[in-house]
Amino acid sequence: MHTNNPIELNANENSLGMADSAKRAVTDSLGSGFRYPDNPSAALISKIATLHGVAENQISLGNGSTENIRAILQMLQHRALEEGRKFQMVIPVPTFDCAEMYADSIGAPVVKIPLTAENYDLDLQRLQKAANDFDGISLLYLCNPNNPTGTITSTAKLKDWVSNAPDNHYFLLDQAYLEYVTDPSFESGIEWVKQQLSDNLIVIHTFSKLYALAGMRVGYAISNPQAIEDVEAFMSMDNTNLSGAIAAIATLNDAEFLALSLRTTNQSRQMIESALDELGLRYLPSQANFIFHEIKGDLKTYIDRMRENGIKVGREFPPVKGFNRLTLGIPEEMEVFIEVLKSFRKKGWV
Ligand SMILES: Cc1ncc(COP(=O)(O)O)c(C=O)c1O
């Protein structure tokens, strides 16, 4: 089954594929491929500014939001160096691993605070303590919703911390999965930027998930104008390619596609939750396009067996054991996955 053409449910991509409107817009723009992307990237910045109700100088476009992560780390490390202070990044584990990889590459120490044992929440108290106990600059890299758990952090507690933190705490709030959140208590960090809750808050977002443009590499950071100017100094020149900017604009204009994208993921989430309920496998309340669920057994073996059945899932997210991260693909993919999972149950594997 599917072994040459596996169903890829391991990278939180959007299996719907790019919107037709985005494909058309990219094809139509190829005649301009010899020009630098100044015009489309300016147009995209303007659209994002309107979308969120911020000024254009509050936005930094990234070659994927991961470029913003790298630049923010470098900017703060550089600032610490200039001020003769130490620098560290504090992260929950597990979380999206890219920030840690970039920190390692520039020799910045990373303090890792495990999620809480019971519900796999961010341990805000310990994260805060790690920053409080450090006399240099701390960057708190916090994904909300978190990856791989798909769950959100208490808005009240996070907001309280961001509002009252000392000025050597910097917050990088990664909201890659923002549009999937349904919990009414959730507040976007972009609103906090607009309310000027803190000068030390940068929020990032991406076109890789709901917008189905992971391969086009477009993301962005939103903060106050000064922070954006500081980050921009560490971004690559002309980093947003023409096709990426054009595709992002077209998708932003395609309300029908965006509604379909959200509906599809929600439908797939329901299918998976029912199947997991039926099998009595625990899962965390997903507010994203993936779900973290129990597998009752060794993850590596489970991943290999799924792969043998034509499905890519997982990977390992230490220190958590016995859970798999499953990307919510399209319902047809979920049907295949559920069939395979149920066959595993019959064999006593899950
Ligand atoms: C929390 C989080 N941030 C960022 C990304 C990647 O974003 P981009 O494709 O914009 O670089 C991912 C991808 O899985 C993610 O989970």
pLDDT digits (tens, 9 = 90+) for 291-337: 999 999 999 999 999 999 999 998 999 999 999 999 999 999 999 99
Interval 131-168: pLDDT, tens? 999 999 999 999 999 999 999 999 999 999 999 999 99
CB 21 within 8 A of CB 251: yes
Q: 3-state class of 8 per DSSP? A: strand
Residue with CA nearest ligand 1 atom 3: 176
Pocket test for ligand 1, best of 98, 325, 328 (most atoms within 8 A of CB): 98
Task: Summarize the confidence of residues 104-123 as an average pLDDT.
Answer: 97
Helices (H), the chain: 20-29, 38-52, 65-82, 98-105, 124-132, 155-164, 189-194, 225-232, 242-252, 255-279, 299-308, 331-346
Domains contained in the chain, CATH given: 7-17+256-346 (3.90.1150.10), 20-252 (3.40.640.10)
Mean pLDDT for the chain? 97
Is the CB of 13 within 6 Å of ligand 1? no
- The pTM score is 0.97
pLDDT of res. 318: 93
Token pair, residue 29, equals 């723009």
Pocket test for ligand 1, best of 61, 206, 236 (most atoms within 8 A of CB): 206
Confidence category of residue 2, pLDDT binned at 50, 70, 90: very low
Nearest one of 340, 280, 345 to 2, comparing CA atoms: 340
Ligand 1 in reach of 65 Cβ (< 6 A): yes
Pairing of strands 219-222, 87-93: unpaired
Q: Are strands 219-222 and 59-62 parallel, antiparallel or unpaired?
A: antiparallel
Beta carbon of 220 within 6 Å of any ligand 1 atom: no
Whole-angstrom distance, CA of residue 201 vs CA of residue 141:
11
Token readout for 257 is: 């596609």
- What residue owns the CA closest to ligand 1's atom 14? 12
Contact yes or no for 271/331 (Cβ under 8 A): yes
Question: What ligand 1 atom has the least distance to the C-alpha of 65?
Answer: 10
Half-sphere exposure of 189 (CA within 13 A, CB side): 33
pLDDT score of 17 more than 50: yes
